[in-house]
Amino acid sequence: MDLIDYQDQGQFYSGHVACAGCVEALALRVILNTVGQDAIAVVPPSCGAVICGGYPNSSLKIPALHTSLESAAATASGVKRALVTQGKPDTTVLCLAGDGGTYDIGLQALSSAAERNEDILYVCFDNEGYMNTGGQKSSSTPLNAVTGSTPTGKASRKKNLIEILAAHRIPYIATTSPGHLNDLAAKVEKAKHIRGTKVIIVLIPCLAGWGVADDNAVNTARLAVDSGVFPLIEVEDGLHYTITNDVKNQPIDDYLKQQKRYRHLTEDQVNNLQEDVDQDWQRLQIKVSNK
């Protein structure tokens, strides 16, 4: 992964309806400007669909197809195949989905597209829940987090989508963050030039859904990385793991304290979460060294 000389080319218009302070809009701006004009977006219902805009407006300079919640990867496959028949194989087909549309209802179609290695760039804005419908749990919601449908804290772990995707042996999987925009732009640029299925998961601290202060989403996103809760990685061909920001220098405590969804945690629960993060980090190190 090489850092790029990022330029804003006006691919994302102002006037969109993201919540004030939302870092999904920030990430989207960098993604769209890195992908450029030779692209078609496929957008299932999500916060992203709202940010992309309602008729007759669009905050995207590229065309967008708003599809159904579970069908982003399948719809995008169709778009790409049509482009191939028209002699436009280089046009990027860009899915802009949420975690509900990716980890949950859209996983079947995504798995199938990955199995066929369809030439699409699939971005998952992972705010760890159904935040656009008012904040219910998804299978991406982490252990103990309070949502509208887990009022005492979620009893099960966050689904490990990276490992699921890696098992498909697709050419490129990455995690990235609106707190590390250089990393984000570099990964999008790299993915753009790879043929086959590429999936980029962007952790989006949700102001309303996580209970984060309006001016604190970037900081929270950085703490997720610095504490090792959300390591920034690349997985190539499902086998080769790289940590692109190899720093884990913060206890989880500081990350949790930014968020109301963890306000109810006991000391034991915090310790357990810390243990989980430490073990996951160790496992990741082993994967990285296995390359």
Partner 1 sequence: MTDKNNNMLLSGNHAVAWGVRLARPDVSPVYPITPQTPILEKITEFKSAGEIDTELLTPESEHSAISACIGASLTGARVFTATSSQGLLLMHEMLHYAAGARAPIVMFNVNRTPASPWGFWPDQLDSLSQRDTGWVQLYTETPQESLDSVIQAFRLAEVSRLPVMLNHDAFYVSHAMEAVSVPSQQMVDDFLPKIKQEFVLDTNKGSSFGAPIDQQTWNRSRQDMAAAMAEISGLVSSIGSDWNQLTGRNYDPLESYRTKDAETVIVTMGSMCGTVREAVDAMREKGIKVGLLKIRLFRPFPAEDIRQAVEGIPNLLVLDRNYSPGMGGIVHQELKSALFGVKAPPKVHGLLAGVGGVNVSTTKIEQLVTHYQNIEPSLEPVWVE
Q: By the criterion CB under 8 A, which residues form the site for partner 1? A: 37-40, 42, 49-50, 52-55, 58, 60-68, 70-71, 73-86, 91, 108-109, 111-113, 115-116
Between residues 50 and 218, which has the closer beta carbon with respect to partner 1? 50
CB of 201 to partner 1, least distance (A): 21
Nearest of 75, 74, 174 to residue 64 by alpha carbon: 75
CB of 133 to partner 1, least distance (A): 14
Between residues 40 and 284, which has the closer beta carbon with respect to partner 1? 40
How far out from the chain centre does Cα 210 lie?
16
Between residues 22 and 113, which has the closer beta carbon with respect to partner 1? 113
CB of 193 to partner 1, least distance (A): 17
Could you write out the three-class secondary structure of 152-196?
CCCCCCCCCHHHHHHCCCCCEEEEECCCCHHHHHHHHHHHHCCCC
Q: Are 122 and 76 in contact (CB under 8 A)?
A: yes
Read off the tokens for 247.
């720093």
Between residues 7 and 108, which has the closer beta carbon with respect to partner 1? 108
Between residues 102 and 141, which has the closer beta carbon with respect to partner 1? 102
Distance CA 102, CA 72 (A): 8
Residue with tokens 């804290």: 153
Degrees, nearest 5: CA angle 75-80-82: 100
What's the start-to-end Cα distance of the chain, in Å? 16
Amino acid code (one letter) for 248: K
Read off the tokens for 233.
């990685």
Between residues 49 and 252, which has the closer beta carbon with respect to partner 1? 49
Residue 135 makes CB contacts below 8 A (sequence gap 6+) with 129, 147, 148, 206, 208, 209
Element containing residue 235 per DSSP (H, E): strand 233-236
Distances (CA, A) of 195 to 38, 113, 118, 171: 15, 13, 8, 8
Between residues 42 and 131, which has the closer beta carbon with respect to partner 1? 42
CB of 60 to partner 1, least distance (A): 7
CB of 161 to partner 1, least distance (A): 17
CB of 132 to partner 1, least distance (A): 11
CB of 63 to partner 1, least distance (A): 5
